Structure 1
Amino acid sequence: MKNKSFITSCLFSLAAVAQAQETPNIIFIYADDMGYGDLGCYGSKVNRTPNIDKLAAEGMRFTDFYSAATVSSPSRAALMTGRYAIRMGINDVFFPTSYTGIPETEVTMGEAMQSAGYYTGIIGKWHLGHLEKYLPLQNGFDEYFGIPYSNDMASAFFMRGNDVVDYHPKMDSITYVYTQEALRFLDQHHDKPFFLYLPHTACHVPLAASANFRGKSANGIYGDVVEELDWSVGKVLEKLDELKISENTIVIFSSDNGPWVVKGPMGGNPAPLFQGKVSVWEGGQRVPAIIRWPNKIKPQQVNTEVAAMIDWFPTLVSVVGGEIPNDRIIDGKNILPVLLGEGKRKDDEFAFVNYGQLQAYRAGDWKILLPEKKRKGSFWIEDVPAHDTLFFNLRKDIGENNDVKDKYPSEYQRVLEKMIVFKRTLKDVPPALIMLESNGLKMAANQQQEAIRQAREKGIKAKSK
């Protein structure tokens, strides 16, 4: 009996080892404010991106992939949870003055990976709250190094774990520092399943490149930054080869939203799309998306169907054998059948939710864009003329130039009905956190004024005595 038990134990141990070897590592590389047309594999003629292009050639490149928001924080919240950020009350970006962050009730990708036995790390921009309870270590990550919000915000600093370690990070070395941290992470944790989330600062303003890349591109400082980011991707891929774990590692590359076109040469290129960051025109949310998974995803794949950032949560959690919450709406779809060439996404729909409002909707080749008042150029966005409800066939009109609402009334009605059905799911969304912050600041100001009033009153009484 003892021998039988020993043999059974050995078989279980061998099965566990085999399962561990089959469980893929995952690296998610996230660019910031990168345009659809900023990579060679997406048509750029001015930015040299051989490493990212190679990644695309060795896996699958999406042509119709959407960020879940037009700006940073809601986009990242959606990636981490598989849910449109409006369901969390995250409709705007968090600032150094914010005292809110990703709700503690949300289940993040990091938490789901940890539950599946993964070691988790984030190196880079978090932007889901900078107070301790909102930071990565309290939201599913075993380690963290990076800037907790955007590099253009006041008092940008490096954190390691929950502690500030550098109050004066140099903008021209951030990509290099993140890359070295990523290589260290891989060296230290490659012997067990890991999830590495690598959200870069590039290509967000202020732009700065290291000496090895400064002035070297044909596209000014923006091109320098893109090419250094491509170098970083190359170093990560080299390290995977060196450690002999490339075959068992999923690598994903994407961007949190479209380019900040109002910045001119400091912003990215949305071509052939219209508009960029902050806009629900295609340039604001259609982004580069590439995935490589050797021996699972065939090389040279180009997928032209609708997919979105919210899909990564259910897909990757499914891949690692984790649990997807069933007590809340998960907007993303498991696209593993798409990646493996075994089927299609559950549906071909995507909602454009911008600053807490449903402003557009896509179903298949068709997109409805709701009416918009004239938008005068500002810090955020270029001029956009006023328009009524518009309807586009994106397959034939990627630049959204031709309204075909009157030409295809039945298709318009079909997509409109789908949009209405989706909107009904938003009836119970929580108050916007940014509004809570505003109200909280008003309350604090009122309390401060009351304290001043009471102090003055006490002073007057003291004088009268």
Structure 2
Amino acid sequence: MYRLSILVLIGFITSCSNPEPTSELPNIIHVFVDDLGYGDVGAFGATDIKTPNIDRIADEGIKFTEFYSASSICSPSRAALLTGRYPQRMGIGQVFFPESFTGMPEEEITIAELLKKKEYATAIVGKWHLGHRKQYLPLNQGFDYYFGIPYSNDMESVVYMRGNEVVDFEVDQHYTTKTYTREAIDFIEREKDNPFFLYLAHSMPHVPIYASEQFEGTSERGLYGDVVQELDWSVGQIIQKLEDEKLLENTLLIFSSDNGPWLVMEDHGGSAGPLREGKQFTFEGGMRVPTVAMWKGKIVAGKVYEDLATQMDWFPTIAQMVGVPVPDDREIDGKDLSAVLFSDGERDGDTFFYFDDMELQAYRSGDYKVKKPYSGFPGAAWKQKVPAHDSLLINLKEDMGEQHNLYPEQPDFGISLFEEMNQARKELGAFPAPLIIRTGADNSHYRYLEQKHKQEK
């Protein structure tokens, strides 16, 4: 049977306006990197990091210049990608830790669970970060196969898991990108004659960053650039495998990032390019991410889409492509991108919410963005110093770097957008209480001893 392959590379899939679902099931590979900035890819302006394979996807497919993650941090962005829903609907506003007893609720429906209705083989290779207790792991969320680090690579107890079991307590992160790539290619080899979904979620370039010897010293941007060039190599290996198996013409290849760069990490933290700020903030640099996709013969080569699209859109897009109804028992926030991908159409809807944890901080409507006053952040080892600001009104088409605040010049328009934001937020409905991520340790015994010793002196 002629089989269509869809490759979702680093978090990216699109949809058709009113297409007929494909009669032959496509494969899907989603490559999702961690903390990659808008300015870290050649197709988006980087000159000191070489990314020929990622750039090839843009050249032979589509580049999204205004593509958003639903969050500026890891766990919420991944929950949104897999479910098509704002993560606040699940109570997920923060990242999970090794000591977390919570995770993405089991009743959420993932892309993998959708595709199981069409008997897809489903796998995730790489970072999960949606809860590592057994009930929250990938095998309970529609995936047949899992290999990877279950949370961020800077957290305690970094391990490799296979399925629900730890298989390696000693992880050498110099080889994590190569290890994930090998696992991904092995999965493609096993399932090449069946429809499959591969979610390849790289741990890099999240700190601490590591590259294998083959890539150390190869870029013009130090170790960070070396790491990104190795990720690009990984993309090239996936493309080569698809070509070898004669699957490329039947494959949608998607590449994206979970959020913006972690700028406080300086030369280990990437670049937001022309965008303001990065990870952990609701400025564009934190949530607008480099995204490209290709499907030879299906997506016109060299296409550029310069309007709003989001990671949440992949859920309804994939559902449409394979002919699976979108669940009607819950709100799905993503929009079908088929018209954007496969014709000259546009995405339905031009609004977007910028949440920080469970708080709505900003809102986009058409070309304009309003952002509520912010008290600033003094800076810490883990978060960039950012000054306070008053209400912001930005024309994103003319000022993607958010440097010119129009609010003092057009206060009435700004107020009207804030009113629209508040009404749109009400229409989202009530959110559940935020999940308890972790609780602090009781260190009263140390304080007792400290006080006791002071009194004895």
TM-score by length of 1: 0.89
Q: Find the counterpart in structure 1 of residue 326 from structure 2.
A: 324
Q: Find the counterpart in structure 2 of residue 271 from structure 1.
A: 273
- SS of the aligned residue for 1:305 comes to coil
Match for 2:181: what amino acid? T
Match for 2:284: what amino acid? E
- SS of the aligned residue for 1:362 comes to strand
Structure 2 CA distance for partners of 1:217 and 1:346, relative to 1, 3 Å = same
The CA deviation at 1:421 is 2.2
* 1:367-406 equivalence runs, <5 A: 367-406=369-408
**Residue 358 of structure 2, aligned match among 356, 369, 373:** 356
* 1:273-288 equivalence runs, <5 A: 273-288=275-290
Match for 1:147: what amino acid? I
Q: Find the counterpart in structure 1 of residue 121 from structure 2.
A: 119
**Residue 347 of structure 2, aligned match among 332, 345, 350:** 345
Structure 2 CA distance for partners of 1:265 and 1:24, relative to 1, 3 Å = same
Distance 1:318 1:224 in 2: 38
Matched, 1:302 2:304: yes
Q: Find the counterpart in structure 2 of residue 45 from structure 1.
A: 47
Partners of 2:124 and 2:200 within 8 A in 1: yes
**Residue 260 of structure 2, aligned match among 230, 234, 258:** 258
Q: Write the deviation string for residues 134-192 of structure 1: whole angstroms up to 9, x where unpaired.
A: 00001010100000001100001001111111011111000000000111011110101
Distance 1:344 1:262 in 2: 36
The CA deviation at 1:427 is 4.4
Structure 2 CA distance for partners of 1:242 and 1:412, relative to 1, 3 Å = same
Partners of 1:123 and 1:197 within 8 A in 2: yes
Partners of 2:2 and 2:24 within 8 A in 1: no
Structure 2 CA distance for partners of 1:230 and 1:14, relative to 1, 3 Å = closer
Distance 2:140 2:133 in 1: 10
For structure 2, the residue ranges without an aligned partner over 5 or more in a row are 4-20, 446-457
Distance 1:380 1:67 in 2: 20
Q: If you compute each CA radius of gyration, which structure gives the higher value, 1 or 2?
A: 1
For structure 1, the residue ranges without an aligned partner over 5 or more in a row are 1-12, 450-465
Higher helix share: 1
- SS of the aligned residue for 1:83 comes to coil
The CA deviation at 1:409 is 4.3
Partners of 2:254 and 2:291 within 8 A in 1: yes
Q: Which has the higher contact order (CA 8 A, sep 6+)?
A: 2
Partners of 1:28 and 1:196 within 8 A in 2: yes
Matched-pair identity in %? 48
Distance 2:61 2:416 in 1: 34
The CA deviation at 1:342 is 4.1
**Residue 145 of structure 1, aligned match among 134, 144, 147:** 147
Matched, 1:34 2:36: yes
Partners of 1:22 and 1:248 within 8 A in 2: no
Q: Find the counterpart in structure 1 of residue 192 from structure 2.
A: 190
Distance 2:36 2:432 in 1: 30
The CA deviation at 1:354 is 1.1
Partners of 1:20 and 1:193 within 8 A in 2: no
Distance 1:127 1:209 in 2: 22
Q: Find the counterpart in structure 1 of residue 108 from structure 2.
A: 106
- SS of the aligned residue for 2:436 comes to helix
TM-score by length of 2: 0.90
- SS of the aligned residue for 1:22 comes to coil
The CA deviation at 1:307 is 0.6
Partners of 2:22 and 2:323 within 8 A in 1: no
Q: Find the counterpart in structure 2 of residue 453 from structure 1.
A: none
Partners of 1:66 and 1:287 within 8 A in 2: yes
Match for 2:165: what amino acid? D
The CA deviation at 1:434 is 2.6
Distance 1:261 1:249 in 2: 34
Structure 2 CA distance for partners of 1:300 and 1:20, relative to 1, 3 Å = closer
Distance 2:227 2:2 in 1: 46
Partners of 1:49 and 1:227 within 8 A in 2: yes
Distance 1:54 1:342 in 2: 21
Q: Write the deviation string for residues 287-318 of structure 1: whole angstroms up to 9, x where unpaired.
A: 00111112111000011000111111111121
Matched, 1:203 2:213: no
The CA deviation at 1:419 is 1.0
Distance 2:326 2:436 in 1: 28
Give the number of equivalent residue pairs.
428
Distance 1:198 1:418 in 2: 37
RMSD: 2.0
The CA deviation at 1:14 is 10
Distance 1:345 1:21 in 2: 23
